[in-house]
A = this chain, B = another copy of it.
Amino acid sequence: MTTMNRQFLLNARPVGDIKQTDFKMIETAMPEPGADEVLVQVQYLAVEPAMRGWMENRADYVAPLEIGDLMRGWGAGKVIESNNARYPVGTIVSGSFGWQEYVVSDGKTIPLQAVPEGVETPASMGVLGITGMTAYFGMLHIGKPVAGDTVLVSGAAGATGSVAGQLARIAGARVVGMAGTKEKCDWLTEELGYDAAINYREEDVAAAVKQHCPDGINVYYDNVGGEILDIALARIATNARVVICGGISRYNLTGEIPGPKNYFNLVFRRARMEGFICGDYASQFGEAVEVLSGYLKSGELKHRETILDGFENTPEALKSLFSGSNMGKQLVRVAD
């Protein structure tokens, strides 16, 4: 067994596209579990677009990351040494492990969550992880779709969007998704139960939104910002809820980024545009995990993970989110 622990540290704040050199991989000594502690071998790391904001130190809802800090991130792994009876050797746990191969915790220094029985670890990283929680609270607590609503989701084949849209469908809404490839669009309509999908790279998006949302949009769940947000704002229905979850089209831009010029339609449509931070709902994560696990087990909620092998490829996995090559949750397999 290796005696070293590889880690990725933040090496530079990103400017424009994320670069490999924004991170620095180092080797440190394998951590040793002390009293009440366990040693976890990380099996999967999750990457999210929001990480770019953490790297930039613009996401002021989390503690700042300084240059030289261990890159922050969600992981799942197996307890391989244990001095804590709550987490015997072999237990699969997830937590905010950071970008490293091994981590030590007593279950409190880094809170450890058990992966629910009957749920595979990769699925738990997406649907029951940060992106699943984001979809759950953003769609159900901010968007609040009801039966008969038309719900439009951008980034619909991504980790958050794919769960958000399915939750709207389960709530009885007509769901229209936007994604960037035919394969993703087919996945939305053929597997996830979306009523329609729009390929934003191939189609006239405004015309397609008009066609698929003839009575307007009751809930728009936005993961992308930019021009697509404006197209959606132009077609919101009376009392619409525009959920600002993300703005991936913005994250890698520099300089002044235009705002949504159609925001004033919020007045004509008596509508609301609202942002939220998933972490604010932490006290309700248990409830969300229970509901989502139920949907996973019943098959009502489909999921997919795009998995890149090799710890050393973690920066590449993060970069891939911005080119849209992932379907569902993008993970890195660090160890089997």
Contact code string A40-66 (vs B, CB < 8 Å = 1, else 0): 000000000000000000011100000
Residues of B within 8 A of A59 (CB): 268
Whether a CB of chain B sits under 8 angstroms from the CB of A269 is yes
Number of interface residues of A (CB under 8 A): 33
- Tell me the bound Cα distance from A247 to B271 in angstroms: 16
Q: Which of A230, A272, A280 has the most CB of B within 10 A?
A: A272
Q: In the complex where A259-B260, A259-B263 touch, is A271 in contact with B274 (Cβ < 8 A)?
A: yes
Residues of B within 8 A of A257 (CB): 261
Whether a CB of chain B sits under 8 angstroms from the CB of A267 is yes
Contact code string A260-293 (vs B, CB < 8 Å = 1, else 0): 1111111111111111110010000000000000
Contact code string A234-245 (vs B, CB < 8 Å = 1, else 0): 000000000011
Task: Evaluate contact between A60 and B268: CB separation under 8 angstroms.
Answer: yes
Task: Evaluate contact between B261 and A261: CB separation under 8 angstroms.
Answer: no
- Tell me the bound Cα distance from A208 to B113 in angstroms: 47
Residues of B within 8 A of A16 (CB): none
Q: Which of A261, A262, A265 has the most CB of B within 10 A?
A: A261
Whether a CB of chain B sits under 8 angstroms from the CB of A336 is no
Task: Evaluate contact between A266 and B258: CB separation under 8 angstroms.
Answer: no
Residues of B within 8 A of A265 (CB): 275
Min distance, Cβ A140 to any Cβ of chain B, angstroms: 16
- Tell me the bound Cα distance from A246 to B264 in angstroms: 8
Min distance, Cβ A58 to any Cβ of chain B, angstroms: 8
- Tell me the bound Cα distance from A264 to B269 in angstroms: 20
Whether a CB of chain B sits under 8 angstroms from the CB of A86 is no
Residues of B within 8 A of A120 (CB): none
Which of B244, B259, B268 is in CB contact (< 8 Å) with A230? B259
Whether a CB of chain B sits under 8 angstroms from the CB of A204 is no
- Tell me the bound Cα distance from A277 to B261 in angstroms: 19
Task: Evaluate contact between A264 and B270: CB separation under 8 angstroms.
Answer: no
Task: Evaluate contact between B264 and A225: CB separation under 8 angstroms.
Answer: yes
Residues of B within 8 A of A264 (CB): 225, 244, 247, 250, 275
A242 to B, closest residue via Cβ? B273
Whether a CB of chain B sits under 8 angstroms from the CB of A202 is no
Whether a CB of chain B sits under 8 angstroms from the CB of A117 is no
Residues of B within 8 A of A266 (CB): 244, 273-275
- Complex A-B, nearest 4 residue pairs according to Cβ-Cβ distance, in ascending order: A267-B275, A259-B259, A266-B275, A259-B261
